[in-house]
Amino acid sequence: MANELMNRFAMDPFFDTLARRFFSPTDADNDYMVNGNLKTDITENDKNYVMKVDVPGVDKKNVHLAYQHGDLALSIDQERDSEKKDEQGRVVASERSHGVMSRTYELPGVDRDNISAQINDGVLTVTLPKAADSHEDSGNIEIQ
């Protein structure tokens, strides 16, 4: 019966994930790198764009930002290791994972030289000041 239910919704990602979590939940279900989600909020006012992206557990050295030709490119390259031991300290499971995610956001008319970025409490905040005359310089953005 469970297999029929899971097969019935195989083409719908929501039901596929829901069925998988219900019948065999794992810690990976909560891992954004496995699920492929970069939850993003972008607000705009007269002076700038402010982008906030959830990046829990990611070190800033694994986050790469670049602005070029009106597009902000975000990529994350994250590796994880986990090891489980029994009562005697012997390793019973050792797992390694590597995930790469990237997104590009179209944000034209930005003053490239004054873009700032920081990670605080698992949230990447990027402030992109607007410019009347955009300098289309390309290059990486340092995360503070």
pLDDT, tens digit (0-9, with 9 covering 90-100), for 76-99:
988 877 888 888 888 788 888 778
pTM comes to 0.62
Does residue 117 share a domain with residue 57? yes
Residue reference for tokens 């700038």: 48
Does residue 52 share a domain with residue 20? no
Does residue 98 share a domain with residue 41? yes
Does residue 26 share a domain with residue 44? no
Does residue 78 share a domain with residue 18? no
Does residue 20 share a domain with residue 62? no
Does residue 93 share a domain with residue 50? yes
Domain that holds residue 19: 1-30
CA gap 42, 53 in Å, rounded: 9
Does residue 48 share a domain with residue 3? no
In Å, how far are 53, 63, 66, 114, 116 from 144, measured between CA atoms?
Answer: 15, 11, 14, 13, 8
Predicted pLDDT at 78: 82
Amino acid at position 30, single letter: N
Query: Which domain CATH number covers 110?
Result: 2.60.40.790
Mean pLDDT of 19-41: 58
Does residue 133 share a domain with residue 83? yes
pLDDT tens per residue across span 125-140:
999 999 875 455 556 7
Tally the domains of the chain.
2
Does residue 61 share a domain with residue 10? no
Does residue 46 share a domain with residue 26? no
Pairing between strand 71-85 and 63-68?
A: antiparallel
Does residue 70 share a domain with residue 2? no
